Amino acid sequence: MNNQIRVKSPGLLSTIQDLGRNRLMHLGIPESGAVDKKSLRLANILIGNPQHEACLEVTFIGPELEFTYDTTISITGAGAQLKLNSQEIKLNTAINIKKGDLLSVGLMNSGLRSYIAVSGGFGIPNILDSKSTYLKGKFGGLDGRTLKKGDILHGNTPNKASKAIEIPKELLTPYKSHVTLRILPGPEIHNFSQDGIFTFLNEKYTVSEQSDRMGYRLNGKKVELNKSSDILSSGLTFGTIQIPNNGEPIIMLADRQTTGGYSRMANVIQADHCKLAQLRPGDSINFKEISIKEATKLFEKQESLLTNLTSKLK
């Protein structure tokens, strides 16, 4: 294959991710996949890829990539200084690439993770039904690791040119360093004291430096339990908030373990996963309880906007 994408500099933490591998979680194999799934889907929609196609998830400092063929790409998610050769380019739009072009994604200045999609997708094999990289397990994506200097990625044959579209504002999640995340109460909420629940819903929590694709560890006022936090290990979902005996919440993300043994206070609703995914260490969070009806409505609104956007391309 001659459609090469050469890695001139890899960025801080760049991995191949798609929507994850969720069929083997009963064997303890984590879901992985993009942390910000909505941004990955948008990146694919913009250039006519299937929504689940694998992209490069780039974190905090982006890569420099040289293309050896004509194609179209798109970049979504966190804002960064984006350049094609020396020309500034835009986030959230399709970008035409000519053979020899050098793309550079600089330091993220709003949010934490950007997604780079190439027309037709990257030539990456499926491992256990997904192209996603699982770093701790050292498999998937590019040999289970992050991008490094000198790597050569292959691009599949580009799609036919698609209509230029703009992402409607309601579908974008502007980055804020303080967010309110909406939650539903979790299965072990009764293991926390009334004071503990009040603390959790009223105090501000800060994303600690000890955060990665597995989860965010939060610092803040300790949440009081009325018994030990330990439970018999049980299944976790993206956005599950566990609180160990030290009283400090942990929010589970894409590379989370499939099961966990700490009491689950709450779960972040799906419509807020994209907000959660872009938080940087040092950013802060307030939690707000809503009902399952409201959560479902918010999710359905987001999905119908995504469906409308896809249909505009046809």
Partner 1 sequence: MKYPSIHFSGDSAFIVRFGDTISRKIHQHVLTFETLIKKENKNIITIPSYTDVLVSFDPTSSSYKNIYKSITQTLTQVEQHTSTSGRIIHLPVLYGKKFGLDIDHVARHNNLTEDEVIKLHSNTTYFVYMLGFSPGFPYLGGLSEQLFTPRKDTPRAKIEAGSVGIANQQTGVYSVDSPGGWQIIGKTPVPLFNITDNPPVLIQPGDYIQFMPITEHEYATIEKDLKNKKFKIQINSYHE
- In the complex, the residues that contact partner 1 under the rule CB under 8 A are 22-23, 25-30, 127-128, 136-139, 184-187, 210, 214, 228, 230, 232-240, 244-246, 257-261, 264, 267-270, 292, 295-296, 299-300, 303
For residue 305, give the 3-state DSSP assignment. helix
What are 63's two structure tokens? 């890569």
**Residue with smaller CB distance to partner 1, 4 or 257:** 257
**Residue with smaller CB distance to partner 1, 79 or 137:** 137
**Residue with smaller CB distance to partner 1, 19 or 73:** 19
**Residue with smaller CB distance to partner 1, 31 or 101:** 31
**Residue with smaller CB distance to partner 1, 32 or 119:** 32
Check: CB of residue 289 under 8 Å from CB of residue 198.
Answer: no
Shortest spacing between CB 166 and partner 1, in angstroms: 23
Shortest spacing between CB 296 and partner 1, in angstroms: 6
Check: CB of residue 230 under 8 Å from CB of residue 152.
Answer: no
Residue 237's nearest CA partner among 208, 215, 217, 210 is 215
**Residue with smaller CB distance to partner 1, 93 or 257:** 257
Cα dihedral 217/222/226/228 (nearest 10): 40
Residue 112's nearest CA partner among 278, 274, 262 is 278
Check: CB of residue 143 under 8 Å from CB of residue 274.
Answer: no
**Residue with smaller CB distance to partner 1, 92 or 237:** 237
Shortest spacing between CB 38 and partner 1, in angstroms: 13
Shortest spacing between CB 77 and partner 1, in angstroms: 21
DSSP-derived letter for residue 34 is -
Shortest spacing between CB 179 and partner 1, in angstroms: 17
Q: Which alpha helices (DSSP H) does the chain contain, by range?
A: 37-46, 194-202, 273-277, 292-312
**What does the alpha-carbon distance between residue 182 and residue 95 come to, in Å, rounded to a whole number?**
34
Residue 200's nearest CA partner among 240, 241, 229 is 241
The length of the chain is 314
Read off φ and ψ for residue 184, nearest 5 degrees.
Answer: -110, 145
133, amino acid identity: T
**Residue with smaller CB distance to partner 1, 202 or 245:** 245
Shortest spacing between CB 149 and partner 1, in angstroms: 25
Shortest spacing between CB 114 and partner 1, in angstroms: 25
**What does the alpha-carbon distance between residue 292 and residue 295 come to, in Å, rounded to a whole number?**
5
Shortest spacing between CB 158 and partner 1, in angstroms: 28
Question: What region, left, alpha or beta, does residue 259 occupy, with left being phi > 0 and alpha being psi -120 to 50 degrees?
Answer: beta
